[in-house]
Amino acid sequence: YYDSYWRRKTMIVVDANIISYLYLPTSFSVKVDTLFKIDPDWSAPFLWRSEFRNVLALYLRKGLINFDNALGAYGGQVFV
């Protein structure tokens, strides 16, 4: 996506919550999936992995996902 005013490539900066919406079933997942399909050039702070693990732990404690799903979500990251 190019910003026509500045004539430069833009990038979406996301936090661990947005990444969680991408990998875990939430009410925001469809919107985040759509955004990712439109512009997959995302950047995230270095701490996102640690924060994402905390989100997975919360989902496990609440029984929203099982351990195998948590491992699958953590292993399916596309943000390196």
**Full 3-state SS string of the chain:** CEECCCCEECCEECCHHHHHHHHCCCCCHHHHHHHHHHCCCEECCCCHHHHHHHHHHHHHHHCCCCHHHHHHHHHCCCCC
- What are the tens digits of pLDDT across the range 15-72? 999 999 998 888 999 999 999 998 888 898 889 888 988 999 999 999 988 888 888 8
pTM value is 0.72
